[in-house]
Each structure stands twice: as C-alpha cells, then as structure tokens.
C-alpha cells in the first residue's frame, strides 16, 4: 500500500476516518486549523466522545503511522490522497449550507500541490460543489491536471463511527467526466478501500452530482421516516391511540422496516436538520424547489415534537413553569454521542427555562458541550442530582443509563412523581407501579 493519506478537518468525521485508515495500515496525516484539537489528538486524547475510537487513535499514534499537523504545506508534501472532511454547517439565518470551510480547505491546499495526487471530498455538500471545486483545483494547482478530485460522501453515524467507517453499507465514488481522470480516481479509491471491497461492500461509481445527491437524499429519506412516525404520533395523541404499538406493528412489514421508526422527540444533530434545509435551498437554486416542499413539512413536524414536549410538561405542572423545578435527562442529540448541535433535548430545556422553570440538566457525556451551548442552564453531576426536588422529570435522550433507571430510587429524590418520556424508552407499567404519573409522546 503505497498511498499516503491526509485527512483535512479532524472533527467527528475526519478524526474517525484518519484513525481508521491508519488502523488499516496507511500512513495518515490529519490536518486541522484548530490547534487545540491537533495537540489533543497528537497526545491520543480524543476531543469528543465516540465509543471505541480512542483506542484506534492511540494504536495509530503508537504505530507511527498516524500524525497530526496544522500545516497545509506539510500535508501537500505528504499526501497522495487528500480527504476533505471539514464542516458544512447551516448558514446563519438561512437554509443554505455554509461552504466557507470547504472552499477554504481547497483554496489553502491546491496552490501547494506540486505532485500528482487525488483530492477526495467526504463532507456533505450541495449538489454542484464538486464540479466547482474541481475547477478551483485545476486553476490553482501547479500540478494542474495531475491533481484530480473525486467525491466520496460519508454515511457514518455518531455512536457507531468506527464500525461504520470500517464496515460501510456502501462506498460511493463521484468521478470526474474526463475518462482518464475518472479511471485514475476510481483505481486509487479501490486501492484505498481494498479491504472493504474484499468484504463485498458495494462500490458505486457515479458522476459528481449523483454522488453528492446520494448523501443528501439518504438523509432526507431518514428524516422523512422519523417525521412520518411522529406525524402518526400526533394523530395517535388526538385519537387516544398508542404510537409505539402502531410503530411496532408497522415494523414487521419488510417494505417499511422498523429502523428510524421510533416515535419521540425527533431528530437533531449536526447532520439531518441542516442537510434537509441545505437540500431544499439548493433545489430552489436549481429551480426544482417544488420537488422538496415535503421536506419543509418534515422539518416542521420535527420541530412541533419539541413544542409538544414542552406543552405536555407545562400541562403536568398545572399550566405554568414559574417557580417549578424540572429535571432534564439528556443533552446530546442522541445517545452514545456528546454532540449537542441542534439537540432537541437542549432546545426543550432552554425553552422551559425561558418560560420561568428552574431546569437542571444531566447527560452522561455531553455536559461540557451542553454548558458551552446553554450556559444559563443549571447542570447536575448525576441523574439523581438533576432530578432532585423536581416537580417533573423529562427523559429527552435515550441513554442506556436512563433506560435502566430505578423508578423507586428516583422517586426518593423528586418532589412530585411526574415523568415525561420523550423517547418512549421506559416501561410505563413499571413506572406507574412505582407511583409515577408517566406520560409519553404519542401515547394515551
């Protein structure tokens, strides 16, 4: 394996990709503009929570195959393949994606590329970005046509990032139109991913635009599935039906399937919300906005769950949060992650606080990020600490620690035994038997 890889942007995606590629035997140089991140990664200290990743990182460092830098000159000199893994967040006040970081990475790297190499975009970008960046590379790179760009969208899930990187469901390679460049890019990508291809992971080649669209349409589908079941939850609430039973019954139909069909507080995080909004914005620019109007509904159903959660809690407290204590369990947007970007849990906590409630939040891993994101909230050191003297307890992220809570032990800490299960993660009968007033989204 002759290829030396650089990974530009070492956040959730890039740090995982860099460590896993080193584990597969490649020499890897990770690059980030965040010096603190680089020094922590270089010391084997993962700057975020991801189960199973830190040992892979450390193994890479100890083997000498994995290093980190903030120098683009060093990366350009080192790499045969440059993976672009920088963030593409939502623009402030708009639906569109902010491409400042992707553009910045290519602008910084391209002028330094003095030998043949492949640039591989992994960030989630609006369709048309790869074609534009390929022109930038051709214009800026001294190596000219010897610097080729491919797009290889990433599908990993936080919480399962190592598993998903090592054993992806599929590998998508968006290739340039020019035949020679496309053949070269495909050959290099097949070599980089050889161990996965040997395990029969499907390898799909496409043009740039299709490859970019695979990623955003996958996220649009997943968001739609979640909002579909949450729309059913709204109807169940009106009809006094039970959405968890409904979802279970639907899940046995192979055509529907049970994954992403869990009713609750809805989706959040650094991907689904911003990706469906950027997709709508881009479709609008392309004159195809009508095709995606349903995604506006998907987004609104999702946001309505948060409002419903707050309403349900307020109702349990007799109509007002003022002078009332609320224990919030969960801050991360989902379990097994410390990511609080667009977190439904923190959104609900902040909204209750804004309505006069005294809110104390606890999360097993996301406390530092949550404190930074919502400094005016109170935080507890443990689950029991967060619910102490609470008039209502809200379960907003379904960590195993919360699923396994003992209702009797918790009852000893609270002021009133009111619980709202925002993730349909608890057994209602068990909680009711322990004297709790158990409520959940989409259930009678």
Q: Which is nearer to ligand NAD, 11 or 364 (CB)?
A: 11
Residue 13 interacts with ligand NAD (CB under 6 A): yes or no: yes
Is 271 catalytic? The answer is yes
Q: Shortest approach of ligand NAD to residue 103 CB, angstroms?
A: 8
- When the beta carbons of 129 and 424 are compared against ligand NAD, the nearer one is 129
- Residue 337 CA to residue 253 CA, distance in Å, equals 30
Q: CA-based Rg of the chain, rounded to a whole angstrom?
A: 23
Q: Shortest Cβ distance from residue 303 to ligand NAD (Å)?
A: 20
Query: Is residue 50 within the footprint of ligand NAD (CB under 6 A)?
Result: no
DSSP state of 173: E
Taking CB under 6 A as the binding criterion, the range among 8-16, 56-64, 221-229, 342-350 that sits at the site for ligand NAD is: 8-16
Q: Closest Cα partner for 155 from 59, 80, 219?
A: 219
- Binding of ligand NAD by 369 (CB under 6 A): no
Residue 31 binds ligand NAD, judged by CB under 6 A: yes
171-175, strands of its sheet edge to edge:
66-69, 27-31, 4-8, 81-84, 117-121, 147-151, 171-175, 203-207
At its nearest, how many Å lie between ligand NAD and the CB of residue 333? 10
Is 74 among the residues that bind ligand NAD (CB under 6 A)? no
Residue nearest to ligand NAD (CB): 11
Site string for ligand NAD, 124-153 (x = CB under 6 A): x-----------------------------
> Which residue carries 């890897």 as its tokens?
28
- The correct pick among 5, 6, 7, 9 for binding ligand NAD (CB under 6 A) is 9
The least CB distance from residue 26 to ligand NAD, in Å, is 19
Could you say which of 105, 127, 370, 386 contacts ligand NAD (CB under 6 A)?
A: 105
Q: Based on the number of CB atoms within 10 Å of its own CB, is 224 exposed (0-12), middle (13-18) or buried (19 or more)?
A: middle
Q: Which of 3, 33, 163, 284 binds ligand NAD (CB under 6 A)?
A: 33
Q: What residues between 239 and 278 interact with ligand NAD by CB under 6 A?
A: 270-271
Q: Please work out, in degrees rounded to the nearest 5, the angle formed at the alpha carbon of residue 391 by the alpha carbons of 387 and 395.
A: 50
Q: What φ, ψ does residue 294 adopt, rounded to 5°? A: -60, -25
Instruction: Give the pair of three-digit tokens for residue 22.
Output: 């080193």
Chosen residue from 5, 12, 192, 223 binding ligand NAD by CB under 6 A = 12
Closest CA to 324 of 310, 306, 334, 307: 310
What DSSP character marks residue 112? G
- By rule CB under 6 A, what count of residues binds ligand NAD? 26
DSSP category for residue 110: G
Nearer to ligand NAD, 86 or 348 (CB): 86
**Total Cβ atoms within 10 A of residue 136:** 14
CB nearer to ligand NAD: pick between 91 and 304: 91
Nearer to ligand NAD, 102 or 345 (CB): 102
Binder of ligand NAD out of 6, 28, 37, 150 (CB under 6 A): 37
In the 8-state DSSP scheme, what is residue 91? P
DSSP three-state, residue 401: helix
Q: Which among 444, 441, 443 has a CA at the least distance from the CA of 311? A: 441
Q: Binding segment for ligand NAD among 29-37, 238-246, 257-265, 389-397 (CB under 6 A)? A: 29-37
Position 30 contacts ligand NAD (CB under 6 A) = no
Phi/psi of residue 55, nearest 5 degrees: -60, -35
Instruction: For ligand NAD, give the closer residue by CB, 158 or 398.
Output: 158
Sole binder of ligand NAD in the list 5, 22, 53, 86 (CB under 6 A)? 86
Name the catalytic one among 85, 117, 236, 271: 271
What would the two tokens of residue 173 be?
A: 């390679």
Shortest spacing between CB 17 and ligand NAD, in angstroms = 9
Determine if 101 is a binding residue for ligand NAD (CB under 6 A).
yes
Of 104 and 356, CB closest to ligand NAD: 104
Give the strands of the sheet with 325-329, arranged side by side.
378-379, 358-362, 325-329, 392-395, 418-421, 437-440
- What distance in Å separates the CA atoms of residue 426 and residue 397, rounded to the nearest whole number? 12
Round to whole Å and give the CA distance between 379 and 360.
Answer: 5
Q: What is the largest CA-CA distance in the chain?
A: 72
Residues labelled catalytic: 271
Where along the sequence are the contacts to ligand NAD (CB under 6 A)?
8-14, 31-34, 37, 85-88, 101, 104-105, 123-124, 154, 156, 158, 270-271
């Amino acid at each position: 394996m002759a290829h030396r890889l650089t990974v530009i942007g070492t956040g959730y995606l890039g740090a995982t990709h860099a460590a896993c590629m080193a584990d597969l035997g490649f020499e890897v140089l990770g690059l980030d503009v965040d010096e603190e991140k680089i020094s922590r990664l270089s010391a084997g200290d993962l700057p975020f929570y991801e189960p199973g990743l830190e040992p892979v990182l450390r193994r890479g460092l100890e083997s000498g195959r994995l290093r980190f830098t903030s120098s683009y000159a060093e990366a350009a000199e080192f790499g045969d393949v440059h993976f672009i893994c920088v963030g593409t967040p939502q623009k402030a006040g708009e639906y569109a994606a902010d491409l400042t970081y992707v553009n910045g990475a290519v602008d910084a790297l391209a002028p330094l590329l003095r030998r043949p190499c492949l640039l591989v975009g992994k960030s989630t970008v609006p369709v048309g970005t790869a074609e534009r960046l390929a022109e930038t590379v051709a214009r800026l790179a001294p190596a000219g046509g010897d610097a080729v760009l491919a797009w290889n969208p990433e599908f990993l899930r936080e919480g399962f990032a190592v598993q998903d990187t090592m054993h992806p469901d599929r590998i998508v390679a968006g290739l340039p139109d020019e035949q020679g460049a496309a053949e070269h890019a495909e050959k290099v990508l097949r070599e980089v991913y050889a161990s996965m291809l040997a395990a029969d992971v499907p390898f799909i080649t496409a043009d740039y635009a299709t490859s970019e669209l695979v990623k955003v349409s996958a996220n649009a589908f997943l968001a739609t599935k979640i909002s579909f079941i949450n729309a059913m939850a709204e109807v169940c609430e009106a009809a006094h039906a039970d959405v968890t039973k409904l979802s279970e019954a639907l899940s046995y139909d192979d055509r529907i399937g049970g994954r992403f069909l869990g009713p609750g507080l809805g989706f959040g995080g650094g991907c689904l919300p911003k990706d469906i909004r950027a997709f709508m914005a881009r479709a609008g620019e392309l004159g195809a906005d009508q095709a995606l109007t349903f995604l506006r509904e998907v987004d609104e159903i999702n946001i309505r769950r948060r409002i419903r959660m707050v309403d349900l809690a307020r109702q349990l407290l007799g109509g007002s949060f003022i002078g009332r204590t609320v224990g919030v369990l969960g801050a991360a947007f989902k379990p097994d992650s410390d990511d609080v970007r667009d977190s439904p849990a923190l959104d609900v906590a902040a909204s209750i606080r804004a309505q006069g409630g005294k809110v104390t939040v606890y999360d097993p891993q996301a406390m530092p990020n949550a404190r930074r994101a919502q400094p005016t909230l109170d935080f507890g050191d443990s689950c029991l600490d967060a619910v102490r003297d609470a008039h209502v307890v809200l379960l907003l992220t379904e960590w195993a620690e919360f699923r396994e809570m003992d209702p009797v032990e918790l009852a000893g800490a609270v002021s009133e035994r009111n619980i709202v299960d925002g993730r349909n993660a608890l057994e209602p009968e068990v909680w009711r038997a322990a004297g709790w007033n158990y409520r959940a989204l989409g259930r009678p």
